[in-house]
Amino acid sequence: MDILITGGTGLLGRALCSALLANGHRLTVLSRRPEKVSSLCGEGVRALRSLDEWWPEMPFDAIINLAGAPIIDLPWSETRKQTLWRSRVGLTQQLVAAIERARHKPGVLLSGSAIGYYGDCGDATCSDAIYSNPSAQDFGARLCAAWETAALAAETAGTRVCLLRTGLVLTPHGGLLARLRLPFSLGLGGRLGGGQQWMSWIQIEDWVGAVLHLLDTTSARGPYNLTAPQALRNADFTAELGAILQRPTLLPAPAFVLKLLLGQRAYLLLGGQRVLPDRLIETGYHFRHPEIRGALRSRL
Ligand SMILES: NC(=O)c1ccc[n+]([C@@H]2O[C@H](COP(=O)([O-])OP(=O)(O)OC[C@H]3O[C@@H](n4cnc5c(N)ncnc54)[C@H](OP(=O)(O)O)[C@@H]3O)[C@@H](O)[C@H]2O)c1
């Protein structure tokens, strides 16, 4: 297939590009850094600097939309919130407009989202059979909902749309584990706040596997939770990680300290979602790493 990827240079995008190339697909990556695309995404990967370079006669069979400014790195000032919004919702709207203009309409759009869609769910389980969650009104939930709505507009052009409600992706190359490794190695790892909040994670091989599966499963459309079937409370996740790294996990990070340090972003760590990948499993996807212990031991 000829596939256009946004965010292909990112943590998840690079892992995905490598798997798509191994499966014989031809890739084009939309990037603000086109000169970096072949070194980051693979030799022979074509780069587009802007969607204006996507001519109507340029055929793509599929689009995978992962671009977005990093959520947790910087404080959520009004300007930062605009950047987070524009880089996801704005870009997705432009992408759908380009799909509408294209002579050869892509068969499928796999578009990014996150389990933050559900807001802080306490102990309730979040199934992807839920299409809307009006009670989740925090910024992250509103951002995910608007990002999904923008992507779903491609259905009117006849393009199948799958929404990738991604959980905490476990990979040695960045994200959550890379951030936790240093404090844990120094014996400073510990639960966050009360530790009772749920963490829904997915090992990177399963994230890539699930995206490839949704690409090929022509009956799949709508939201899919990309999380392992075993969500954990933060305290249990912390204990498992400490055991694998053979380090103590006795020093909790108190909620008020996280709030002081992170402001509004603290709820990303202190709140949580107990997410189940019901619809993904229904499509016949089999997890390689359904349980945390095996996932953490697997090359992470
Ligand atoms: N990693 C996770 O655990 C996780 C969990 C849930 C959801 N997600 C979502 O999945 C997507 C991919 O995640 P990731 O971890 O691979 O992210 P990442 O490493 O931060 O990469 C995202 C990509 O988005 C592009 N980007 C960054 N800032 C941008 C901006 N201001 N405007 C336009 N494009 C921008 C960049 O591509 P260029 O520099 O090439 O333009 C970058 O490579 C993200 O949208 C993220 O929110 C990730």
* Ligand 1 near 209 CB (within 6 A): no
In a domain, 263, yes or no: no
93: containing domain:
2-170+200-227
* The predicted structure's pLDDT at residue 141: 92
In a domain, 244, yes or no: no
In the 3-class helix/strand/coil scheme, how is the chain assigned residue by residue?
CEEEEECCCCHHHHHHHHHHHHCCCEEEEECCCHHHHHHHHCCCCEEECCHHHCCCCCCCCEEEECCCCCCCCCCCCHHHHHHHHHHHHHHHHHHHHHHHHCCCCCCEEEEEEEHHHHCCCCCCEEECCCCCCCCCCCHHHHHHHHHHHHHHHHHHHCCEEEEEEECEEEECCEHHHHHHHHHHHCCCCCCECCCCCEECEEEHHHHHHHHHHHHHCCCCCEEEEECCCCCEEHHHHHHHHHHHHCCCCCCCECHHHHHHHHHHHHHHHHCCCEEECHHHHHCCCCCCCCCHHHHHHCCC
Closest Cα to atom 37 of ligand 1: 7
Give per-residue pLDDT as tens, 78-98: 999 999 999 999 999 999 999
In a domain, 8, yes or no: yes
The domain spanning residue 111 has which CATH number? 3.40.50.720
Spacing, Cα 73 to ligand 1 middle (Å): 12
* Ligand 1 near 166 CB (within 6 A): yes
Closest Cα to atom 28 of ligand 1: 69
* The predicted structure's pLDDT at residue 121: 87
Closest Cα to atom 47 of ligand 1: 68
Residues 242-270: what's their mean pLDDT?
Answer: 83
Higher pLDDT, 260 or 26: 26
Count of the separate structural domains present in the chain: 1
In a domain, 254, yes or no: no
Spacing, Cα 70 to ligand 1 middle (Å): 6
* Ligand 1 near 275 CB (within 6 A): no
In a domain, 211, yes or no: yes
